[in-house]
Structure 1
């Protein structure tokens, strides 16, 4: 089979932890052909969506981990699977990417995750579809509503709707220190909607990444534990990743959402769970494959490639 990975520049990969690298390695190990391209390599021209795509050979060398053939323009429907691994920010360029991929899909390309499903599931706002699993949450650009939410819940988290890696997340405690300034900054003086959530003390035990593959729950999660007084557990913000078996509550959330999201075209989903509460639904380029595999021996990439092959 031919697998094409739509990703960020390969030279930027940290292969000791990169999930896309793990996917590529597993696909290559099984004898599949691996290709790669970036968003800037895509075009709609004439009546086709094409991309300048390069075939990739995995070298096994940590320093120069791949060799790339010269890129050539091809129609995306020539591949058995086009795997979307483009990182946020989810800005208008990302939206345009999903439109192009949707056109390619109508021309016969098999795209995972489905572009319309990525577009329809904002990674922060999508939790509003499953309120039975969330802590009290408010989405608004109105400062008065945000201040009232803080007055009610005393200790809150405020964050933008389009961030990643913990960027732009603030905690405001009961004293309300800098609440007005945080609201002004995140909403750009009321121009942008943001999310407020009641603070969950269980963040001290980790912000758990629960993975769903093909509608099924991966049996281990990665608890990303804040370090050094940080409120954020994100690995990009310095959190410590500790793999552990999923809890009964994790499984309940995953088994409820898994079939629903899979039916919508989301082959791979990363749920963020703090304590017993669902806080985010990650659909663009979920990570943590390698950390789980290294600490537990469970081949997450193998489960993922199994699911792609089945599709």
Structure 2
């Protein structure tokens, strides 16, 4: 049954926060929303929560109440002072703002524990979509791709054109490899392709990697599009450092605000129904310019998407309030059955 107001529990990890983290602006504004009955927040880095986050045991959490002064501090005192013991089952809406690393086992356990609750984003959906092979569902809007599970798979695919190999569950540009003939570039060093692939043969056979055609226009930037409830909220263009093919800010790239193209709007229309079906409300879609000059999908991110206050400042358009509205609309749809 739809509720007039929702009690909100936020799961996060304050240890990795910075002043730019979206959680502070989002929760301060959510707290004043007419549909919010109150917000409590529990951090994975608080020692008292170790049994829950790392042991996956117990029904209790140590949480703090979000107040009007909730903001970033170096020691995270807003998340660890005035701690109280809470039961996750007592909340109507759970908002996941957990950064990686996060295990499949924890997500599975959390989905079972909170069965029946409205969760943004749903752990089962994160499990389904955060693996890079999820892109294989959308060949019509993506570069040529191949799931590589052996050295032979990689060599066969790389024989067609230069490729990029992506670990299926890494993030922030970690572990990306560019292969062009007998040269393999790990972002810092050039290796012999056959020799390097032999060294990672076990990873290929056990985990697999996603092979993707290397796009020569990568220097035009990797665009991150923030989407909430199927609506494009904002976009930023991440440009590679000079003489690099890696656009990730964590790997030396820079980020500037930008607008989306009609091609990208079509991409979001294509992928959103499947993401929505998986319980994904908030996500980031990344695009690159293909060899024909058209924007194509290169990645989908569904875990702890940020950049909301920055997007609002850069565009001058409301981003935070529409996002919060859609979160409560999502909860309404969940409880309406």
TM-score normalised by L of structure 1 = 0.86
Q: Specify whether residues 222 and 123 from structure 1 end up closer, same or farther in structure 2 by C-alpha distance, changes over 3 A only.
A: farther
CA contact (8 A) 1:84 1:113 kept: yes
Q: In the alignment, is residue 36 of structure 1 matched against residue 47 of structure 2?
A: no
The equivalent residue for 2:263 is: 249
The equivalent residue for 2:19 is: 15
**2-side partners of 1:24 and 1:137: how far apart?**
39
- Offset from partner CA, 1:130-152 (integer Å, 9 cap, x none): 11111111112210120121111
Match of 1:52 among 62, 65, 77: 62
Match of 1:285 among 304, 316, 320: 304
| CA RMSD after TM alignment | 2.4
Match of 1:302 among 302, 305, 321: 321
Q: In the alignment, is residue 236 of structure 1 matched against residue 245 of structure 2?
A: no
Query: 5 Å matches for 1:1-311?
Result: 1-8=6-13, 10-16=14-20, 18-30=21-33, 32=36, 33-39=38-44, 40=50, 42=52, 43-45=56-58, 49-57=59-67, 59=69, 63=73, 67-68=78-79, 69-90=81-102, 94-106=103-115, 108-153=116-161, 155-177=162-184, 178-188=192-202, 190-218=205-233, 220-275=234-289, 276-310=295-329, 311=331
CA contact (8 A) 2:182 2:194 kept: no
* SS, match of residue 128 in structure 1: helix
Aligned length, in residue pairs: 300
**2-side partners of 1:6 and 1:104: how far apart?**
14
CA contact (8 A) 2:228 2:326 kept: yes
CA contact (8 A) 1:211 1:217 kept: yes
**1-side partners of 2:200 and 2:317: how far apart?**
39
CA contact (8 A) 2:99 2:304 kept: yes
TM-score normalised by L of structure 2 = 0.80
**2-side partners of 1:100 and 1:254: how far apart?**
30
**2-side partners of 1:304 and 1:63: how far apart?**
24
Structure 2 gap ranges (5+): 1-5, 45-49, 185-191, 290-294, 332-337
Q: Specify whether residues 281 and 245 from structure 1 end up closer, same or farther in structure 2 by C-alpha distance, changes over 3 A only.
A: same
Q: Specify whether residues 34 and 239 from structure 1 end up closer, same or farther in structure 2 by C-alpha distance, changes over 3 A only.
A: farther
**2-side partners of 1:287 and 1:158: how far apart?**
25
**2-side partners of 1:29 and 1:182: how far apart?**
54
Q: Specify whether residues 44 and 61 from structure 1 end up closer, same or farther in structure 2 by C-alpha distance, changes over 3 A only.
A: closer
**2-side partners of 1:128 and 1:87: how far apart?**
24
User: Offset of 1:61 from its aligned partner?
Assistant: 6.3
Q: Specify whether residues 131 and 96 from structure 1 end up closer, same or farther in structure 2 by C-alpha distance, changes over 3 A only.
A: same
**2-side partners of 1:277 and 1:260: how far apart?**
17
